[in-house]
Structure 1
């Protein structure tokens, strides 16, 4: 469980391309499921209110998780995590996601950790 918390909520350490992509996909599913269920619920119903609340909670948690994953991915590229702010620019964020998924990390230890997919 501690690895899960580290992966999605900590900004220390490094993650590989595969861990970044798979983590990002899991975050997207966690965010999409309550939104999907909300669209199926009758408008104004208690069920609709429940799913909209769950979506907001999932959205806020996934927002931080996306930033934490991106920071660790940038650390694997030996770049500062501050560059992760580009994820908030609508069109640029798609390009940034692709870049972070495709470019290989720095081999061996760097200033952000000894190896990818482990806390610093």
Structure 2
């Protein structure tokens, strides 16, 4: 996967994304967040490395929030639904249910108004 494809997958709101790509991208984001948090907890308090890992964790966290929204929008597009429904991903219990639905429910077969095929920009 090229850099442009990764940039599209994690940061763009256009196009559609499949169940598997959504799940794997979400898993990768969670691993990055968990690793930075793990390293932060291992660093001695008030040390320079502790501060670096804290900043890195928050940077990854904020990038991940946008990436989760972008993935959710593209997954909604795969169902033929408008991306505005991605705001429901910020409601705690709804976000868990939405994640399960997004991972299990198949998208539209063939082209829809959001793209000709999955895993590609519009």
Tell me the equivalent position of 2:83.
81
Alignment of 1:44-55 (within 5 A): 44-55=46-57
Distance 2:93 2:36 in 1: 24
Shift of 1:17: 0.3
- 2:64 aligns to what? 62
Local SS of the residue matching 1:13: coil
Consecutive unaligned residues of structure 2, counting only runs of 5 or more, are none
3-state SS of paired residue (1:34): helix
Query: Match for 1:18 among 17, 20, 25?
Result: 20
Q: How many residues align?
A: 120
Q: 1:93 aligns with which of 95, 101, 120?
A: 95
SS in structure 2 opposite 1:68? helix
Tell me the CA shift for residue 82 of structure 1: 0.6
Structure 1 gaps, min length 5: none
Whole-angstrom CA distance in 2 between matches of 1:83 and 1:27: 21
For 2:81 and 2:121, the matched residues in 1 are separated by 16
Give 1:35's aligned residue.
37
The alpha carbon displacement at 1:92 in A equals 1.3
Q: Which residue pairs with 2:108 in the alignment?
A: 106
CA RMSD of aligned residues (A): 0.5
Tell me how far 1:115 sits from its aligned partner.
0.1
Runs of 4+ in 1 over 3 A off after TM superposition: none
TM-score (norm 1): 0.98
